[in-house]
Amino acid sequence: MAPAIRYFEDFHAGQVIGVGTVAVSEEDIIAFARQYDPQPMHVDPAAAANTIYGGLIASGWHTVSLFMRMLVENLVAKTVSLGSPGVDELRWPLPVRPKDRLSGQMEVLETRVSSSRPTMGIVRWRGEVRNQDGQLVMSLLGTNFFGCRPA
Amino acid sequence: MAPAIRYFEDFHAGQVIGVGTVAVSEEDIIAFARQYDPQPMHVDPAAAANTIYGGLIASGWHTVSLFMRMLVENLVAKTVSLGSPGVDELRWPLPVRPKDRLSGQMEVLETRVSSSRPTMGIVRWRGEVRNQDGQLVMSLLGTNFFGCRPA
């Protein structure tokens, strides 16, 4: 049985959708940062201990990329996704550290049909990532395009 | 001779700083997306050809991660960097495609000393990434913390 596909019409303001959890290891933090954000606090545990962060922390771009993977695997892959023009108010209020377990969710804020492309809908949402202690480590306001249900 | 280190005091509103260029291959696009954004338009050239994008395009998170690497290697590594609380108005106005060559720059918008931590300064800036045809493919408003020059 094929999984049900979500169309634009399946999103409603107020919906809160959990998108799963992911464990973060020191190896993952260092591997991402070596490639994309090679600052001492992200790649060098000894140097990181001497920063204001007091130890190794994940690149914020790593955290948002991990959130994206959860979002794709647990939600977007089951939709008719048509991409995104951007995000707003991306925040990292607390560091992500080795051995953290992160949980992601999205809350739908607003939905409307595209005026320029009426077979497409626009969904505005707020994403949140929390650690194993329930502390908010990342938030953002996202905008995504989804295909409308065929008539 | 050690390279000169930039402190907070070395940033001024109106400065425009080039942060280098990077070539994007189909292999890079697919490798990043398999790990962090496994949507058909980012991982499957044949499926991507049938989307509104007409071919494989990079994950927006890949583009911003490549920009971050340029920013770190060519600027942040030569500063006393103390991290970032977040970014605003991250936009991907045009897709990034295989064989694109991207150039990054930052323009300093505003600088001020932190009121809560007077040995630290706050720099607000606009980042831009353009392709080989000069087209804007990404922009964002960034905020970064830098250490002040020792007295």
List residues bridging with A113 in a β-sheet: A121
What pTM, to 2 d.p., does this model score?
0.93
> Which domain CATH number covers B98?
3.10.129.10
Q: Test A51 with B84 for CB contact under 8 angstroms.
A: no
Instruction: Classify residue A3: in a domain, yes or no.
Output: no
Angstrom distances, CA of residue B58 to CA of A73, A83, A117, B35, B64: 17, 11, 23, 13, 10
Instruction: Classify residue B106: in a domain, yes or no.
Output: yes
Instruction: Classify residue B41: in a domain, yes or no.
Output: yes
> Which residues constitute the domain of residue A93?
8-147
Indicate the number of domains in chain A: 1
Contact between residue A69 and residue A28 where contact means Cβ atoms under 8 Å apart: no
Cβ-based neighbours of A6, under 8 Å, separated by 6 or more = A75, A78, A79, A80, A146
Instruction: Classify residue A1: in a domain, yes or no.
Output: no
Instruction: Classify residue B2: in a domain, yes or no.
Output: no
| Other beta carbons within 10 Å of A87 | 24
Q: Test A69 with B93 for CB contact under 8 angstroms.
A: no
Q: What is the pLDDT of residues A16-75, one digit of tens each?
A: 999 999 999 999 999 999 999 999 999 999 999 998 899 999 999 999 999 999 999 998
The ipTM (two decimal places) reads 0.92
Q: What is the pLDDT of residues B89-118, one digit of tens each?
A: 999 999 999 999 999 999 999 999 999 999
Amino acid identity for residue A46 in this structure? A
Residues of A with CB under 8 A from a CB of B: 35-39, 41, 51-53, 59-61, 64-66, 68-69, 72-73, 76-77, 81-93
Instruction: Classify residue A26: in a domain, yes or no.
Output: yes
Contacts of residue B60 in chain A, CB cutoff 8 Å?
84, 86
Q: What is the pLDDT of residues B17-45, one digit of tens each?
A: 999 999 999 999 999 999 999 999 999 99
Of A64, A81, A86, the CB nearest to B39: A81
> What's the CA gap between B128 and B43, in Å, rounded?
25
Q: What is the pLDDT of residues B70-88, one digit of tens each?
A: 999 998 888 888 888 999 9
